[in-house]
């Protein structure tokens, strides 16, 4: 149908899956480093901050096309602070539904089955 034989199609699916898995692993590694950095920063753990900064340098060497820069840290910090402001008891709701569910939680907080 698309000019692929079943073997070529299967091979292409395998290549696609491996490439997407590698991309996912890179993004997850980056996110883990950012999360660990900010946790240590907020906890005042300077030893861990230094260790994570070193790991970020290694990450940047491995991924110069998607580095963790000072701008990345600034944007992430701003985003984390804004997200924290939007949370209600540790939860983040869709902005269009937030008021409804915050009201539900305030009215029926000790009996969540009444929400729905």
Give per-residue pLDDT as tens, 65-82: 999 999 999 999 999 998
User: Considering only CA atoms, which of 29, 102, 108 is closest in space to residue 68?
Assistant: 29
CB 13, CB 4: distance < 8 Å: no
CB 108, CB 114: distance < 8 Å: yes
pLDDT number for residue 114: 58
CB 37, CB 56: distance < 8 Å: yes
Which ranges of the chain have pLDDT less than 70? 1-4, 109-116
User: Considering only CA atoms, which of 60, 36, 58, 59 is closest in space to residue 49?
Assistant: 36
Q: What is the pTM of this model?
A: 0.74
- What is the SS3 assignment for 44? coil
């Amino acid at each position: 149908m698309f000019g692929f034989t079943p073997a070529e199609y299967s091979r292409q699916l395998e290549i696609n899956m491996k490439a997407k898995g590698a991309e996912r692993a890179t993004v997850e590694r980056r996110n883990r480093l950012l999360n660990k950095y900010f946790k240590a920063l907020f906890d005042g753990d300077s030893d861990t901050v230094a260790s994570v900064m070193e790991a970020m340098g290694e990450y940047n060497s491995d991924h110069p096309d998607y580095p963790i820069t000072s701008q990345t840290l600034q944007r992430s910090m701003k985003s984390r602070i804004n997200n924290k402001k939007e949370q209600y008891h540790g939860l983040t709701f869709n902005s269009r539904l937030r008021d409804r569910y915050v009201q539900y939680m305030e009215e029926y907080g000790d009996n969540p089955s009444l929400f729905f």
